[in-house]
Amino acid sequence: MNRTIRTLSLGELADLIDWAAAEGWNPGLEDAVMFQAADPEGFIGAFVGDDMVAAISAVAYGQEFGFIGLYICRPDMRGKGHGKAVWTAGMDRLAGRTIGLDGVEEQQANYRSKGFMPVYETIRYSGRPVALPAGAERPHMETAQPVPDIIAYDALCFPAPRQSFLQRWLLPPNHAVAAITSRGTAGYAVARACRSGFKIGPLFADNVRTALELLGELSGACGGDLHIDVPATQMDFIAALEMAGFSPTFSTTRMYKGTPPKLDAKRVFGVTALELG
């Protein structure tokens, strides 16, 4: 068997996104282009001849942090070592960094054996909100753009700078909105159209009230169910989601190999994407 390992082209990354859809992961309609903006060299495939048989994302955010996701072996090619080969290639690419991933329950023991340790649970909430509470002093909402204020706010909530990614993620066809107060930016959120409904992420905000305001703004712009991956520690936000008609549908655990990164976890109400961190 003549297996080769190499970086994916944009078209091959689109094929990997289709594999994710077949696995039931409900990816975004424009994920290939947007994901590639995070790290053009960060998507790796195993090939037998011209056929892609396994792939993984190993996205490097600078020299200190990286993230593993989109780890899939084609069902008809499993058990042949292709998955292990792309895993090794991805981990080698991110060597020397703290590495994160979001693991489903049945894979967590496997990831522990590879040196990853659990830090917090993330619960996906899905639904169409009946009503979301409005704040007494509602912040001004405006379209979020990759301006210095948004990039600076993102740096409070994400483990590493990711300006090139934000410059694509915040633009149409995604819906991006920022909450602005007299004191400056109080949060921002993004919705992207998926195979089913819309995923919200990131949702970063100063407090629960602002997070709900941002979610309500996006709800009005999106004609379908919303899905948001919420850290389980955000209990007040989760209670508000459940009162608004959302239900838990899926869960993962954020795990890190290396020193867990420092960030303002109290501002994280929805992670960006399970594939990218």
Q: What does pTM read for this prediction? A: 0.93
Could you give the percent of the chain with pLDDT greater than 70?
Answer: 94
Lowest mean pLDDT among 25-34, 64-73, 126-135, 189-198: 126-135
Predicted local distance difference test score (pLDDT) of residue 133? 56
Residues 6+ apart with CB under 8 A from 203: 187, 189, 190, 211, 214, 215, 228, 268, 269, 270
Annotate 177-208 with three-state secondary structure.
EEEEECCEEEEEEEEEEECCCEEEEEEEECCH
Q: Do residues 66 and 94 lie in contact, with contact meaning Cβ atoms separated by under 8 Å?
A: yes
Q: Could you give phi then psi for residue 207, rounded to 5 degrees?
A: -160, 175
CA 268/CA 263 separation, integer angstroms: 9
Q: Are 50 and 72 in contact (CB under 8 A)?
A: no
Among 13, 7, 9, CA closest to 31: 13
Closest CA relative to residue 83, chosen from 71, 100, 101 = 71
Reading the block at residue 252, the tokens are 């993962």
In sequence order, what are the residues at sequence separation of 6 or more whose Cβ sits closer than 8 angstroms to the Cβ of residue 273? 28, 69, 199, 201
- pLDDT, tens digit (0-9, with 9 covering 90-100), for 118-137: 999 999 999 987 766 555 45
Angle formed by the axes of helices 235-243 and 208-221, nearest 10°: 40
**222, pLDDT greater than 90:** no
Give the model's pLDDT for residue 136: 47
User: Which residues neighbour 160 within 8 Å (Cβ) at sequence distance 6 or greater?
Assistant: 61, 62, 64, 65, 261
Q: Which of 71-80, 130-139, 145-154 has the lowest mean pLDDT?
A: 130-139
Give a three-class secondary structure readout of 54-123.
Answer: EEEEEEEECCCEEEEEEEEECHHHCCCCHHHHHHHHHHHHCCCCEEEEEECHHHHHHHHHCCCEEEEEEE
Phi, psi of 134 (to 5 degrees): -100, 145
Predicted pLDDT at 140: 63
Torsion of CA 90, 83, 81, 257, to 10 degrees: 50
